[in-house]
Amino acid sequence: MMWLSILVPVYNVQSYLEECLNSVITQWPPEGGVQVLVLDDCSTDGSWALMQQLSARWPGRLQLLRHQHNAGLSAARNTMIDAATGDYLWFLDSDDKLLPGAIAHLHGIVRQHAPDVVLCDFQVWRERVQLKHRLRGEAHKRSFDGPADGLVRQRSQLLTGMLMMGQLHAWSKISRRALWAGTDSAAALRFPVGRYFEDMATMPLLALRADSFFYAPQPWVAYRQRASSILATMNTAKALDLSAALLGLAHALHTAPQLAQQPALRFALAHQAARSLMGAMRYICQSGAGAAGPVPSVLAEQLRHNFRAASPLSPEALASAYLRRGWWLRRRKFLRWFQATPTP
């Protein structure tokens, strides 16, 4: 019986892949029950050959898959969801790694509490750690704002805590495979293919399906900070996808009015929508975006439209909510970027 499937998508990560997979194999539980799926999305750098070498080195530990055509991160994860047999799914990016003891800690929580979702913290992994990184607390970054070390059966608390912290990545949330299923393909939950910020679009929808959760406030994942990350290589398409990532959640909440009317959740969703707006607007205003496409003012209006569609609070109501919390700087930054008028 497989209690856990670890899903590792691979694309041109030959330099990092062995370290990633070794971090899993070195903490293999004595009782087994772990499936490691590794899918190559048509790499061009030798990652597939390395996967085969590592599979031979660790017989029976890795299950290799390969796409016939490059389809992107979302499609790779979706293929592995379909192939997984474990009760729980853990998405691990192939340039990151699991920290020692992570699997054993997870197994203890699953055996004792059997939550629908387990959340963990993480550390930022840099080649050169500087003093400013230590001062930012990168050795231990929280992924959740809420109760820890206990089983909680309150969906609104899970969703609110995820949105307030803003760490919506898939690899810090281990979930029951059953949450991804549906009565048909349309009802199943999958990552959106061809879109950026797929985690932000998907993980809140996963939370809507969960009846219970357990937050373990320890770093289980080392997240490698790379210069080629999505945020570090922002473009117009990414900015638009960032601003639209929460639209699916806002639409889903229309079918759950009792949940959607809870004040804490309303503020948390508006706050995260504002973060997305500011990140996207900053790029539009500072990069000269739109020179080869829509003019910046048109893009900016689209970002504002997406905020209004995703946020349960109007810009004015959110600004007032920031004031009531004493978040003066946050209010100032939000209004600055919401009202920004980019020039061609």
Q: Of 231, 247, 266, at which residue does a domain stop?
A: 231
Does one domain contain both 167 and 238?
no
- Is residue 343 a part of any domain in this protein? no
- Is residue 180 a part of any domain in this protein? yes
Tokens of 220: 């289980």
Using the Cα atoms of residue 290, residue 295, residue 300 and residue 305 in order, give the sign of their dihedral: negative
**pTM for this entry:** 0.93
Does one domain contain both 167 and 291?
no
CA distances (Å), 172 to each of 59, 84, 120, 323, in order? 28, 18, 5, 31
Spell out the residues 6+ positions from residue 259 whose beta carbon is closer than 8 angstroms to its own.
155, 156, 159, 253, 265
Does one domain contain both 203 and 256?
no
Does one domain contain both 204 and 255?
no
Number of domains in the chain: 2
Spell out the residues 6+ positions from residue 99 whose beta carbon is closer than 8 angstroms to its own.
23, 123, 219, 220, 221, 222
Burial 181-194 (b: 16+ CB within 10 A, else e): eeeeeeeebbbbee
Q: Three-state DSSP class for 149?
A: coil
Does one domain contain both 282 and 209?
no
- Is residue 150 a part of any domain in this protein? yes
- Is residue 26 a part of any domain in this protein? yes
Q: Of 208, 231, 254, at which residue does a domain stop?
A: 231
Spell out the residues 6+ positions from residue 248 whose beta carbon is closer than 8 angstroms to its own.
201, 205
pLDDT 10s per residue in the chain (344 long)? 899 999 999 999 999 999 999 999 999 999 999 999 999 999 999 999 999 999 999 999 999 999 999 999 999 999 999 999 999 999 999 999 999 999 999 999 999 999 999 999 999 987 776 667 677 778 899 999 999 999 999 999 999 999 999 999 999 999 999 999 987 777 899 999 999 999 999 999 999 999 999 999 999 999 998 765 555 678 999 999 999 999 999 999 999 999 999 999 999 999 999 999 999 999 988 876 544 455 688 899 999 999 999 999 999 999 999 999 999 999 999 999 999 887 76
Does one domain contain both 269 and 223?
no
Does one domain contain both 124 and 154?
yes
Nearest by Cα to 103 from 26, 176, 38 = 26
Q: Which residues span the domain enclosing 150?
A: 4-231
